[in-house]
Structure 1
Amino acid sequence: MTTLFSTPFPRVAGSAIVLAVAALAAGCGKSDAQGGADAAAQMPPAEVGVYTVAPAALNITTELPGRTAAYQVAEVRPQVGGLVQKRLFTEGTDVKAGAALYQIDPAQFQASFNSAKASLAKAKANLMTSGPKVARYKELLAIEGVSRQDYDDAVAVHEQAKAEVEAATAALETARINLSYTTVAAPISGRIARSSVTPGALVTAGQPNALTTVQQLDPIYVDVTQSSEELLRLKKQMDSGNLKKEGSQPRVTLILADGSKYAEAGKLQFSEVSVDPGTGNVTLRALFPNPKHDLLPGMFVRAVLENGVDEKAIAVPMQGITRNQRGEATALVLNKEGKVEQRVLATGGTFGDKWLVKTGLAAGDRVIVEGVQKVQPGAPATIAKKAAATAAAEPAKAAH
């Protein structure tokens, strides 16, 4: 009896249990999926902070690298040869134009001057005798007391004496100039560099090596480079009226190597008439007052050029601008329907902590600047109350 019922009963019972468990699991899975979809549909829109675009008049500037250069540079060289007797200046100090810098041994040139002076005196003495002789011969010629030939000879001697006086005068002036050149003077006022010679050195007229250098530091030049494309773009903006130029000469300010701002403002003097074929840049030169000699030749600086005023400039905080995979500037904008949409922008440099936007945004657009990572294009979003108050205040700041 036991053998007849023991085998089939457990097999049927096990199959029923498996089917029941599978049905229960399927029911639970369907319920969880539906519950998740309902939960997702019920999630509130992400809260974001926005910046409301408000065009304002902005002073458009360009920051360019540059180096300082002396206003005038004079290399001091001897104009006569001889031994250097004295150095008459302190290296690294300021000197005035005409100040004595070196003394070259003047003995030889003093002797030449004295000789030229004596030659002039001799020529003048000859002239004193030849002149009256011509006058006497002229009277005698009228009464035929002398021949025409004697008179002509006397006139010729007189003219020769006058020429000799002029030649002696010129020789004396040359000797005087050479004697004065034995004192080497500063050609310009400015800061003098170190001396390349010491007393006892032999120098020659017009030698290739300068004795020292004098540089005028007040005012001082600042040479900066700008791309020809940027220069052309600014010119087009001015011609179209989008950028208004203030004054005949653009104002320039300096940022020093340590990040501090230079106290004096400068003016743009000129730009190169040709483009460097190697770099595609043009050189701009600005002139700055330098009364305290804070700027020295060769210093690296950054020049900020005031290009003009954009009456309807759009400036957006940097945190609201990102780049896509193609390197294009983009911004997420919250539209009137409360949906997020992506805009591709064209930027035109920076203004403080903001990007200047040329195209892609208009007045009233709400650019998402906080919570960008929480939203995607097409998703709904709402403005956080605190962010809304900040966004309302931002346009007023930009207008200043």
Structure 2
Amino acid sequence: MSKILIRGAKVLGGEAQDVLIDGETIAEVGAGLSAEGAEVVDAGGKVLLPGLVDLHTHLREPGREDSETVLTGTRAAASGGYTTVFAMANTFPVADTAGVVEQVWRLGKESGYCDVQPVGAVTVGLEGSKLAELGAMHESAAGVTVFSDDGKCVHDAVIMRRALEYVKAFGGVIAQHAQEPRLTEGAQMNEGVVSAELGLGGWPAVAEESIIARDVLLAEHVGSRVHICHLSTAGSVEIVRWAKSRGIQVTAEVTPHHLLLTDELVRSYNPVYKVNPPLRTERDVMALREALADGTIDIVATDHAPHPHEDKDCEWAAAAMGMVGLETALSVVQATMVDTGLLDWAGVADRMSVKPARIGQATGHGRPVSAGEPANLTLVDTEYRGFVDPGGFASRSRNTPYEGRELPGRVTHTWLRGKATLVDGKLT
């Protein structure tokens, strides 16, 4: 592979430096570097970050290729600055066996745009009644370390305890979709003033918080790791903060849309705002931002959930839940966390690369931008301002809540082990 010299990049938002890539590795970082025969990328003061890592992506393949495929999803990931994504298990068939997770893993290898690490199901068929083949999935070529029934909650406490005990043997983690099903039957949006006014079934905060409280206690009892998917309420923040103060092995994620959008948007009855967990109140949004800033919430994860046009462009009650997010995540984080002064770019790298790679054990990702490290990198034009146009998305689906909204920042280049997957904003 040829050499690439990234000239004048603000590494983690700091002073401008040059970064020399030689093959798959960062060869040198410093001022005034030169390399004969190297391809030169003029960074012009853009911010250079380690390649982003998404612990929560829905790639839909196998089974729902009308929504997304591993190829289109990883192209979307590269467009958004990601070099690895964790693909959730709610496919058709469910990723609950070594065979299915290996299929997804191999499709990721073939795509070449982004590393794909499958997430294995906790229970057979996501049905919540019998543990899936956790050990076999871990020992497969895919090397699964994260398990989740995302889209459904592992609501049975005995099953959850057994899952935590099982993955402890090999250092795995259970990623819980915290939703007490009996408290959310018929729920359509956040339970509160707006749901009462609109006459839509309410989704109470306690349905999330009660599961989180139970599961951190189970994790403490077992001495195992639990990860909370798409945390969305101020009360959930307090429970996680309390659990961490006791030394419980809990980590948590927040989505970009829960950092920016509120349930007031549901007044439009536009199904693009229908998501699980639902958009919450302004108070919740502020609590989530503060928790991400102080480290109570560990990471940002997109919960990229593509759906075809016919599944979203319908009446609210019939519409599917979910939003695409890979191609807009970094811009939303810049708008909500960096431009507000809550995080600097080093903090963004920590929450969107370093920590998610550590939680998911993504080897070679989330590493420092320094000599000898794998050249998994993202270059961001932080001065850019533009309006979101889903027509230009690489994702197969267009269900974004940001259409027509002005957002800051644009990923211009992405490198996966020294290979450019995105150049000047265009996929290679």
Q: Bin the TM-score by the shorter chain.
A: under 0.3
Structure number, greater radius of gyration: 1
Task: Give 1 or 2: higher strand fraction.
Answer: 1
TM-score (norm 2): 0.18
Structure possessing the higher relative contact order (Cα contacts under 8 Å, 6 or more residues apart): 1
